[in-house]
A and B are shown apart, each in its own frame.
Chain A
C-alpha cells in the first residue's frame, strides 16, 4: 500500500495531530467507518471527524459527498458554510462545491474556467444501514468490505437508527465492552439485566472471514424491566455476536418464537481517545412501539456502558495478553484482541 502524503503535510500521510501511530492509522484508514446518520445529511454541510481528520459531509442532488473540511482556496472549514441546490458555499469567498466535491462557482470571476486544484479532497462514501460510511485511504489491491448486518433488509423488519452517541474513550474499548457478556449483571440492571443472574455459561468463539462469531446462550432476558413475564419460563436466550474487525459488531438476540432483534454496534474512531457510536437496529416485533422509546431505552444502555469505557485505563486496548488479566467469560474479548493483533495493529494503548 502506498502512503499518499496528506495534503496538509507532504512528509506524512497522517492528518496533523494524529493520535494514532502511523502504522495503526494506515490500517484503520483503509477500512470503512461510519461518520453520520444518513438521514441527518440533507443538503447542508455537516461536520464529522474520523481518525483525527476533519470532514465535511453534505448532499447534493441526492448524492452524499464526504471531503476534508478545508476549503482548497484559503483553508476555511466548509462545514461553516451554507448550501443551495448546486452545492455547499464556503463562508469566506463564496466558492461553491457540488457533486463529487467539484468546484462549480467562483463568485469573484464567474467566467473563469475552474482548475482541478480547486476541487475538494473527497473520500469514497457509501450509504448503508442508514449510515454514511467513509474510507480515508482505500487499498486498491484489496478493498475493505463493508460490515454485514443480519436482517436489515429482510421482509417484516423495521429499521431504526439511534442518534450518534459520543464517548470519551477509545473505540476498541467500546467494542470489547459490547462483546463482553459478564458485565450485564453489573451495569445493565436498570435496563435489561438481573443483578442476581451473574453467571456466564461457557461459550466459544469461531473465527470468520472478517472477525469471529460467538453464540452465547444464557438465561439473561432481553426484555426490559416490566416485560419479563413475556418470556416463557426457563427460556434460553441466544445472543449471536458477529464481529467485523476492527470496530463493528452485530448482536442478534433471539427472542421467543421467531422474534429477532439485531443491534449493529459501529464504533467510529474520531481519534484514539474519542469515539462516536452509531447503532442501527432491526427488529421484526413491537413494530407499533414509537422509535423514540427505542432510542431512549438504548440511550440508557449506552450511558451505562460509557461510564465504564471512559474510566478504563490504559485508555487504549492492550493487545499484549499478558498486560491484563483474563477470565473465562472473556473468550470474546480475547478473540477480539487476537483478531486485532492479527490484522497488524500495534500494542494499541501506550498513550
Chain B
C-alpha cells in the first residue's frame, strides 16, 4: 500500500509541471475543478496556449461581438461519439466539451489591440502567449441532463484560469492601429448570466451552445492539414453524423463580406448577436421583437414596430426600424449605446461594435418604405 501511494505521488510529480499531456478529462457536474488546466482541453504550456489531441478549433461565419475580444473556440467529444446533425441544432453527445477562450492581441506597451479582423486567428498549434492577453475561457460541457456552463478567468501570469462563478470585471486599455486608446471594463459574466444568452428557450431554461450550429459552422477553416469546410471536417474526424450534402446545409454569411447583399449580412449579424434572446421562446420575447434568422414578418423584425417596455432604450425614438432612417430607429440607438440601461445586447459588451453598427445603419438607411400612418 505504501508503495502504491508513493507511486501515485511520484506519478503526479512527473506530470506536475512538465510532462506528456493528460487526456481531456470530463469532470462530474458536482466536482468541477477550480482550474481550467484540469480539463486538459486548452492549457498554457511553454508560453503557448495549446490544444490537446482531438480538440478541434472552429470559427463562425459571423460571430457574436464581445468588446473586440478574439475568440479561440474548440470542440472535443469522447472517443467513439459524435453529434447528430440537425438543421437548427446538433444533438451533441454526453461528454462533449466546448471551450471558448477570449483574448486580445497585445500592444507593445502591454495594453491590448483593437481589431475587428479575426481572420488571422488560426490556432494551429496554439496561441503564443507573448503576443496575446488571455482574459477568460468558458467551458460548456454536455451532461446527461443538459449543458453546464463554467466561466474561468485567466490569472495575470497567464499560467492558468480559475473558476469564477461570480464572474469578474477587468479594466483594459484598448489601442487602435491609429494610436488612439480607450479604457473600458471588460466584464466576465457570472454563471447565471451565461444562461442569459445560452438559454435561448427561456421557459425551459436549458443551456445550449449558440455558435456551433450548422448555419454558423458552414464555412471553410484552415486546419493544419489544409483548408476544409468545417462540417465536412467534423464528419471526417468523427464528430458529426448525418451531415447532408453541403448544398443543402443552411449558411449564415460573413457580415463583412461585401460581395453579399446588405440585408443578408445584416440578418446574419442580428441572428448571432440578438437571435438567442429575440426569438419566440427567448427571454426577449416579451418585447415582440424577433431577430433570429428565420423571422419573416417585417413588423416582428422591427419595421415600424413601436416598443413595449424599452424604457430608456427607446432613445426617444418611436419604432424599432424606420425604413430609410437609422437615425430614427431604436435598433440603431441601442446598438450604438454603451449605457447599460439602454444598450443591446444587454450583456457581453461595454463598447460599441462600430463595424456592426455601421452595417445596421447602412441596411436600414437603404430600406424602402416608411412608417407614416395609413
**B and A form one assembly:** no
Residues of A within 8 A of B (CB): none
Residues of B within 8 A of A (CB): none
